[in-house]
Structure 1
Amino acid sequence: MDDILLPLYNVHIDDKPSIRTVYISNLIFSLIIVLILLQSNDIEQNPGPNSSRYSYQNIQIAGINVNSLRYKTDLIHSELGECDVICVSETKLKANVGSTDLVMPNFHNPDLFRKDRSTDGGGGILIYVRDSLHCKRRSDLEIAELESVCVEITTQTGRFLVVCFYRPPNAPVTSLDHFENLLDNVIDTDKNVILLGDLNIDLLKASPTSRISRICERYGIENVVKEPTRITSSTATLLDPIYMNNLSLLRNSMVLPSFCSDHSPTLIEINFSTARQKAYSKVVYDYESGDYASANMYLQRKNWNECFKNVHDINKINGLINQEVHHVMDTYIPKKKVLVRPRDKPWITTSIKVKMRKRNRAYKKAKSRNLISDWKKFKELRNEVIDLVREAKRQYLINLHNSLVDKSIPPGKWWRIAKSVCKFKNKESQNSPIKVNGEILIHPIEKATAINDYFCSISRFDTEPQLPNVPPLAPYELSDIVITEQDVIDHFQILNINKPAGPDKLPPKFLKAIFPSLVTPLTFIFNKSLQSGIVPSDWKLANVSAIYKGKGDQDNVSNYRPISLVLDPHDLHLQGYEWRGQIFIDNRLIFGMHSSPQACQRTTNAVSYMLWKSNIHTINYVDDFGGVSDNQNAEHDYNFVLELFQRTGLEVSKEKCLPPTKVLTFLGKE
């Protein structure tokens, strides 16, 4: 270290150093500091957070007068879909227009924050709120005399109110009294308030002594929009303000090019944050073009006995097998890296994005020069973009409809397409925030951890249930199991290739194509697991989705149920199986292949389901012991079923790789 620093100390600096000398000196000093830190060996050379597909970003709120919302939701979603809150005024909707015609992906049900005018079909308010935000309607703050909708949004750092309003152009000046009444209600809440809408008053001409200016001063609100929001060849007016009572929250404000009416959208960014999914890279394999002959040849030449020699840890054995299979997949299956933008609309192509940018440049040019020819060019491009977006969405839906008649499409994919086309959705979104101990969780990792902890907690009994002392009627013993290669082959043959990959990222479609070469190592590890009484840790992992039950508060973790995305033979349901003419029951199916047992939900019909497969006939007796919320009932049902099985001649297996257990393994946690 001294050899490095000594030449650096001898740099000569004049009494009046030049700018270049000072720059070099600062650079050398910085280098010295870096070298000292690196020499200390206690810091990372490349520090920084681990990469994540999600990040916290400022909440974006947009407002727009659409002059009739119907048939314009695709345009709004294409242009403003990145925003978290979209306040729409002058919707002109009637009661016969249902929510299915207004729904936008990844936003709450629009009927929750909608107010239609009941008289002449004009006016109307609707607020779109992203489904990852915790929100509720504050109808108690709204007033009947002024068209308005108020929504309270809660984040991890606080709460704020978003108010959308509409004042008709023919409204008398006295209508501002109603605007004051609305301000009385929302300002008195002592919350941060953001008001967006169409005031139909040109604020560019409003003097400090005007009625609207005095109202703003009295209530401590300020308009953050400083540009015209409605521009024609002869006029430029500011009709669509955004009022805030706390300007310290404001990060940015702007007026966007108009795209579906003669009003330009307004947008602000505020200091409240939300989790947004970022673009990420993904490796995609082309399994149809794989060289499976070479892959099998490579694995068949592998000396598995030599690989497993002197390796006694079953987790290391499992790791060696997975390592070789992944190597084969990477070597003999064509792959490419693609950039996934999860927030992009699937029908918005690159050419449409280019046309949008061209339209935006034309808008800036027309606004700065204010020439008739420039405005004409902008409107032509705007209409062209509208036509392109609508045609792209129409063609996208046609392609989805055509996919539904394809008989070769897997059932799961068919249902996903059908739900997308028909807009079948759960009553509530699955992306809603979770509340734990009064704290709002919005980041997907935080929500997954909270739900995971809850699922783990409910899978344990407070006390171990006492098994009934009933002598078995059938003198069966399961003291020795030897799995043959034919048993493994039989399971491979029933492997469903349409199922997704599990946590090991090995898709069944690929495994089934190379299964002749995997029979030997898998037979070895299955028998090793039985002999040692240890199950590889990776076999205890599963991809699990938390599904809302459809009742109760959606921010309550107890109102979700775990659904395994891959049918896992290691899930701890009470199961039975037949082994070479003898029937046994246990809490765990011992084999490492996906056997796809049929689920039987309640105790009353437990014995009615039996799935005969290959040499092993799986019986899944009970999936939910009395409901996860009641451990006493669960214990009672568990004992009842065991007693029932024993009285009918089914014995609980005692000589197994794992004893009967009720601990659920969820994402690696027990």
Structure 2
Amino acid sequence: MVEDIDPHIIGITESWATPDISDAELGMTGYVMFRKDRLGRRGGGVILYIKESIQAYEIKLEKEAECEEAVWCNIVTGNSTLTVGLVYRSPNISMEENEKIHNAIKEVSKRDCIIMGDFNHGHIQWTSLQSTGREDQEFLNLVQDSFLSQHVLEATRGENVLDIVLSSQKEFVDNVKICEPLGCSDHNQIHFIIKVKGERNRKIRYRKNFHKGRYKDMREYLAKIDWNNTLKNKTATECWNILKSEIDCVVDKFVPLKKQGKRSKKKHLSKEAIRKIKYKQMMWKTYRHTGSEEDYSIYKEALNQATAEIRNSKRSYEQKIAFNIKHDSKSFYAYVRSKQKVQDKVGPLEGSDGNIITEGFLMAENLNEYFSSVFTREDISILPVLETKFEGREFDYLGQLIVTPTMVAMKIRDMKDNKSPGVDGIPPKLLLEIVEQISIPLATVFNLSLEEGIVPLEWKEANIIPLFKKGSRNKSENYRP
């Protein structure tokens, strides 16, 4: 199973391991093992395997939540932490141990978490959220009161759902599959995907800094071009390609590069909040050095002041971006995305042959094929001939449509300079700076396009972003362009 699937995390309940069995006998190459054996009796026990490439460490809960057969680990994912717990609840569990499991779930559910295991609550109907037994009803109430989502809806042993997966956010778990039992076990395997933000490989990238462009030099360069001769006897597509080439040339010459990929500053923190955070940190170091109660009191006061200032600063920042959403929606949505615990990404997707597609290019092809299939393909080889006739006053007749440089310049000046560029990579900021120099060649391109009835090929290209609707994220039909 491990060789076929290569899972990042493996949880085993009823391991039947005992303290006299060494870690070397139970360990697996490439995984860090966390185990909790049943003491004094046969059976039970849990083992959690986490890949070595994942930063993980075991944690201890409060004393009243220390379960006999459960293990808890923190997994570091990017800038956040996910708690993963593996629990075995015996069908013959004592009231005291059952209470500890409940306390553990209450404690862990206050953070980002995934709790899985064999809980032996076979009388809970998870689809209707109903139960018949007292203990089952208490557990169901606990799950609901803790705002946890339960993802296993099919039977895992016989006709009962004994093995479950709980998460603090529904989006953390996806693509749950009930698979055949492993070895001589009478419980089905549960396979699922954990979706959390991971640490990206931060490469130093560069992009053009249009806010520091040498636009005076750029305008002088473009003003020297004789567009009438340059674009003479050219098609609309050829004219656009020439114009685009000249624009790319001046961008390379006069727009500097800037590094991209550094962690952005926490914009919601005011200068006063940063000052109080630094003071709090300094007081903590002082207390650690002296160990005096007086310094600890000073630190606690600094901590409270910093916490209050952070809260006020965050509230002010959120009010500011909400107030400016009409003029600067980019900042609003960037802030919302930064608060999402789960990356809203596409796939993996299921291909037409049933196989899972993970490669980006192939997923794009799969989505493109589906999006294209929902449109009707008409036969354009035979088109009706439109009769040219006009009924009305002569001065109402629409003659030849001419686009003037003045009309082009007016449209460009209506653009907002903080909008993102399209596929051509030309931002509105650049167009606004060189509007007088490019309005003539752009008008030429528009007029030729109207005359030929052909749009330049590059104008037909667009960035298509698949938006998830509902259902499984592995199905192409659950996305829209």
Q: Give the partner amino acid of 1:149.
A: V
Please, which of 228, 239, 247 is the counterpart of residue 305 of structure 1? 228
- Output the CA distance in 2 between the equivalents of 1:58 and 1:324: 52
- Output the CA distance in 1 between the equivalents of 2:59 and 2:335: 33
> What's 2:85 paired with?
88
Q: Give the partner amino acid of 2:406.
A: Q
CA offset digits 1:522-578 (Å, max 9, x no partner): 112222223333321111101121112x3444332223221xxxxxxxxxxxxxxxx
- Output the CA distance in 2 between the equivalents of 1:193 and 1:527: 57
- Output the CA distance in 1 between the equivalents of 2:175 and 2:163: 24
C-alpha change, 1:184 and 1:325, in structure 2 (3 Å) is: same
Q: Give the partner amino acid of 1:308.
A: L
SS in structure 2 opposite 1:518?
helix
> What's 2:445 paired with?
525
> What's 1:362 paired with?
none
User: How big is the shift at 1:501?
Assistant: 0.6
How do 1:98-177 and structure 2 match up within 5 A?
117=139, 137=152, 139-141=154-156, 148-149=164-165
Please, which of 177, 184, 187 is the counterpart of residue 186 of structure 2? 184
CA offset digits 1:109-163 (Å, max 9, x no partner): xx99xx9956889xx99899xxxxxxx73652279897853899879xxx89799
SS in structure 2 opposite 1:185?
coil
> What's 2:205 paired with?
282
Counterpart check, 1:452 vs 2:368: yes
User: How big is the shift at 1:514?
Assistant: 1.2
> What's 2:61 paired with?
67
User: How big is the shift at 1:519?
Assistant: 0.9
CA offset digits 1:433-463 (Å, max 9, x no partner): 2222112223333222211222223233365
Please, which of 482, 488, 493 is the counterpart of residue 408 of structure 2? 488
Please, which of 260, 263, 276 is the counterpart of residue 338 of structure 1? 260
Q: How many residue pairs align between the two structures?
A: 341
- Output the CA distance in 2 between the equivalents of 1:329 and 1:480: 35
CA offset digits 1:390-426 (Å, max 9, x no partner): 999979956852642664873422541563588699x
User: Does the 8 Å contact 2:55/2:75 carry over to 1?
Assistant: no
TM-score (norm 2): 0.52
Please, which of 336, 348, 355 is the counterpart of residue 419 of structure 1? 336
- Output the CA distance in 1 between the equivalents of 2:345 and 2:241: 34
> What's 1:218 paired with?
none
Counterpart check, 1:542 vs 2:440: no
CA offset digits 1:226-263 (Å, max 9, x no partner): xxxxxxxxxxxxxxxxxxxxxxxxxxxxxxxxxxxxxx
> What's 2:425 paired with?
505
> What's 1:321 paired with?
243
> What's 1:434 paired with?
349
C-alpha change, 1:391 and 1:523, in structure 2 (3 Å) is: same
- Output the CA distance in 2 between the equivalents of 1:329 and 1:67: 58
User: Does the 8 Å contact 2:81/2:112 carry over to 1?
Assistant: no
- Output the CA distance in 2 between the equivalents of 1:147 and 1:439: 27
User: How big is the shift at 1:510?
Assistant: 1.6
Q: Percent identity?
A: 20
- Output the CA distance in 2 between the equivalents of 1:397 and 1:77: 27
- Output the CA distance in 2 between the equivalents of 1:482 and 1:338: 43
SS in structure 2 opposite 1:336?
strand
CA offset digits 1:624-660 (Å, max 9, x no partner): xxxxxxxxxxxxxxxxxxxxxxxxxxxxxxxxxxxxx
How do 1:48-63 and structure 2 match up within 5 A?
none
- Output the CA distance in 2 between the equivalents of 1:452 and 1:154: 22
- Output the CA distance in 1 between the equivalents of 2:362 and 2:52: 18
- Output the CA distance in 1 between the equivalents of 2:78 and 2:239: 48
User: Does the 8 Å contact 2:403/2:447 carry over to 1?
Assistant: yes
- Output the CA distance in 2 between the equivalents of 1:63 and 1:127: 24
> What's 1:214 paired with?
none
- Output the CA distance in 2 between the equivalents of 1:147 and 1:393: 42
- Output the CA distance in 1 between the equivalents of 2:191 and 2:324: 55
Q: Give the partner amino acid of 1:540.
A: K
Counterpart check, 1:461 vs 2:477: no
Q: Give the partner amino acid of 1:486.
A: T
CA offset digits 1:197-227 (Å, max 9, x no partner): xxxxxxxxxxxxxxxxxxxxxxxxxxxxxxx
User: Does the 8 Å contact 1:435/1:441 carry over to 2?
Assistant: yes
User: Does the 8 Å contact 2:215/2:254 carry over to 1?
Assistant: yes
C-alpha change, 1:59 and 1:507, in structure 2 (3 Å) is: same
CA offset digits 1:40-92 (Å, max 9, x no partner): xxxxxxxxxxxxxxxxx998596855638xxxxxxx99823499996235795
Q: Give the partner amino acid of 1:184.
A: D
> What's 1:560 paired with?
479
Q: Give the partner amino acid of 2:446.
A: F
C-alpha change, 1:463 and 1:160, in structure 2 (3 Å) is: same
- Output the CA distance in 1 between the equivalents of 2:399 and 2:417: 34
Q: Give the partner amino acid of 1:530.
A: L
Q: Give the partner amino acid of 1:521.
A: P
User: How big is the shift at 1:185?
Assistant: 0.4
Q: Give the partner amino acid of 2:351.
A: V
- Output the CA distance in 2 between the equivalents of 1:341 and 1:162: 45
C-alpha change, 1:481 and 1:409, in structure 2 (3 Å) is: closer
Counterpart check, 1:296 vs 2:219: yes
User: Does the 8 Å contact 1:284/1:338 carry over to 2?
Assistant: yes
User: Does the 8 Å contact 1:410/1:498 carry over to 2?
Assistant: no
- Output the CA distance in 1 between the equivalents of 2:83 and 2:236: 55
- Output the CA distance in 2 between the equivalents of 1:478 and 1:326: 37
User: Does the 8 Å contact 1:125/1:149 carry over to 2?
Assistant: no
TM-score (norm 1): 0.39
* Structure 1 stretches lacking a partner, 5+ long: 1-56, 69-75, 105-110, 129-135, 164-179, 195-274, 348-375, 377-386, 563-670
> What's 2:90 paired with?
none
SS in structure 1 opposite 2:466?
strand
Q: Give the partner amino acid of 1:558.
A: E
Q: Give the partner amino acid of 1:434.
A: L
- Output the CA distance in 2 between the equivalents of 1:296 and 1:162: 69
CA offset digits 1:313-368 (Å, max 9, x no partner): 543432221122122223333321323689x9999xxxxxxxxxxxxxxxxxxxxx
